[in-house]
Amino acid sequence: MELLEMGKYGAYVWTAFGLTLVVVLINEWRVRARQATVYRDIEVRIKALEEIE
């Protein structure tokens, strides 16, 4: 447990690392979500146009 306390700076160190992890994960998730949304929107539009034709 002493290892995790980081002297008296545990709160600062862990907050900084935790926040970094959160921001990186949000970025990873947003990249995937945006690709899925854009792809699906185009797919829906193109397939709808195909059916009209």
Partner 1 sequence: MWKFFHQLASPPHFYRLAAIFSPWFLAPAIALIAYGVYAGLFIAPMDYQQGDAFRIIYVHVPSAYLSMMAYMIMAISGGIGLIWRMKLAHAVAAAAAPLGAAFTFLALVTGSIWGRPMWGTWWEWGDPRLTSELILLFLYFGYMALRGAIDDTAKADKASAVLALVGIVNVVIVHFSVEWWSSLHQGQTLMKEGGPAMDPGMLYPLLAMIFGFNLLFGSLLLRRTRTEVLFRERRTRWVKEMILSPGGQS
Judged by the rule CB under 8 A, the positions of this chain that interact with partner 1 are 3, 6-10, 12-13, 15-17, 19-20, 23-24, 26-28, 30-32, 34-36, 38-39, 42-43, 45-47, 50
Residues in CB range of 10: below 8 A, 6 or more apart: 4
Nearest to partner 1 of 35, 52 (CB atom): 35
Place of tokens 């447990």: 1
Smallest separation (angstroms) from partner 1 to the CB of 52 = 14
Provide the minimum distance between the beta carbon of 48 and partner 1 in the complex, in angstroms, as a whole number.
12
E strand or H helix at 40, and its extent?
helix 10-52
What is the token pair recorded at 4?
């995790």
